[in-house]
Amino acid sequence: MQESLQQSLQQSFQKILQIQELDIKMIRLMRVKKERQQELSKIHSLTADIQTQVIEKETGVTEVKKQIRMGETQIKEIQDKVGKLESQQAAVKKMDEFNALTQEMMRTGRERNQVELQLSDLTDKLVTEEDLLAILKENLEATDQNSTLIEKEIHESIEKINEEGRTILSEREAVREKTDPEVFSIYDRLLRNKKDRVVVPIENRTCSGCHIVLTPQNENLVRKGDRLVFCEHCSRILFWQEANVAEGEEAAPRRRRRKSIG
Ligand SMILES: [Zn+2]
């Protein structure tokens, strides 16, 4: 009875360890996928930024052009007015009327100078803004071309990741079907919690998950191997490595956590 309990638990452990390695692979894979997706969104926001700048600059250029047209209309109106004043002046007989018209013409002349000055400033501004717009558009085009290449590369790598993920999932499902559902559900809950290995060997009286030294009682329970024993500190499931190696005929490939020297 005792023997078979141990055996079945050991078998469950082997399966769970296989599943765990697949899950760790999957977690790493999803991390890479997330990084790649973040790269994608960075590229998108960079392009969107330049697009916004182009649109703003275009609006600016349109506004300057409108102001120039308004100035030109104003100049035309002033010219018409000057023409009218000149013909009026030619027609008047009285000196004071003549002088009044001269005053008016001088005022109109000053107004015209002012508008012409504004127009000249606006024309300078238009040249500058159009130059900037051209640079921005070139920049946008270069960024677009560049990001199209990078995006293609990223999409391809994400597709590969998804493919690899599907393979891992189907392998996992195949092993899970042969695993004790109760042990699996405990494992699965722990994994979702920690996103890291949750079935770990005891190494030098220490939980190799949290690296805290275990009590001798705890260690003995694990060594007996007739029930699941959890680390008192991190709740990971503990197992006795030597026992597994000795007893497991179909020992799963297992990655030991090597202690770093020093
Ligand atoms: Zn622990």
Q: Is 124 in the same domain as 207? A: no
CA of 143 to the centre of ligand 1 (A): 50
Last residue of a domain, one of 144, 159, 175: 175
Going from the Cα of 10 to the center of ligand 1, the distance in angstroms, rounded, reads: 20
Q: How far is the CA of 239 from the centre of ligand 1 (A)?
A: 11
Whether residue 42 is found in the same domain as residue 132: yes
Predicted confidence (pLDDT) at residue 202 exceeds the cutoff of 90: yes
Q: What is the pLDDT of residues 120-150, one digit of tens each?
A: 999 999 999 999 999 999 999 999 999 999 9
Find the Cα–Cα–Cα–Cα dihedral 141, 142, 145, 146, rounded to 10°: -150
- Ligand 1 centroid – CA 23 distance (Å): 19
Q: Is the pLDDT of residue 43 over 80?
A: yes
Residue 242: which pLDDT band, with cuts at 50, 70 and 90?
low
Q: What's the domain range around 48?
A: 32-175
Percentage of the residues of the chain whose pLDDT score is greater than 90: 83
| Assigned domain for 204 exists | yes
pLDDT higher for 227 or 66?
66
- Ligand 1 centre and the CA of 37: distance in Å? 33
- Residue 138, domain member (yes or no): yes
The torsion region of residue 235 among left (phi > 0), alpha (psi -120 to 50) and beta comes to: left
**Residues 36, 166 share a domain:** yes
Domain end marker among 175, 190, 208? 175
8 Å CB contact between 199 and 244: no
Q: Are 202 and 208 in contact (CB under 8 A)?
A: yes
Confidence (pLDDT) at 71: 97
CATH number of the domain within which 136 lies: 1.10.287.1490
Percent share of the chain, pLDDT over 70? 91
> pLDDT confidence of 194, banded at 50, 70, 90?
very high
Q: Are residues 80 and 125 in the same domain?
A: yes
Mean pLDDT of the chain: 90
Mean pLDDT of 208-217: 95
Q: How far is the CA of 8 from the centre of ligand 1 (A)?
A: 24
Question: C-alpha dihedral over 7, 9, 15, 21, to 10 degrees?
Answer: -120
100 and 37 assigned to the same domain = yes
CA of 237 from ligand 1 middle (Å) equals 8
User: How far is residue 133's CA from residue 139's CA, in Å, rounded to a whole number?
Assistant: 10
If asked whether residues 166 and 224 sit together in one domain, one would say no
The residue count of the chain comes to: 262
- 250 pLDDT more than 50: no
What is the whole-number distance in angstroms between the Cα of residue 22 and the centre of ligand 1? 21
One domain, residues 58 and 110:
yes
CA of 254 to the centre of ligand 1 (A): 19
| pLDDT at residue 3, as a whole number | 59
Q: Ligand 1 mean position to 198 CA, how many Å? A: 9
State the distance from the centre of ligand 1 to the C-alpha of 229, rounded, in angstroms. 11
Q: What is the pLDDT of residue 252?
A: 45
Distance 206 CA to ligand 1 centre (A): 8
Domain-located, residue 74: yes
What value does the mean pLDDT take over residues 235-255?
61
The average pLDDT across 187-207 equals: 95
CA of 238 to the centre of ligand 1 (A): 8
Q: Is residue 76 part of a domain?
A: yes
97-119: per-residue pLDDT in tens?
999 999 999 999 999 999 999 99
Among 123, 150, 175, the domain boundary falls at 175
The number of folded domains in the chain is 2
Model confidence band, residue 4 (pLDDT cutoffs 50, 70, 90): confident
What is the Å distance from ligand 1's center to 108 Cα? 92
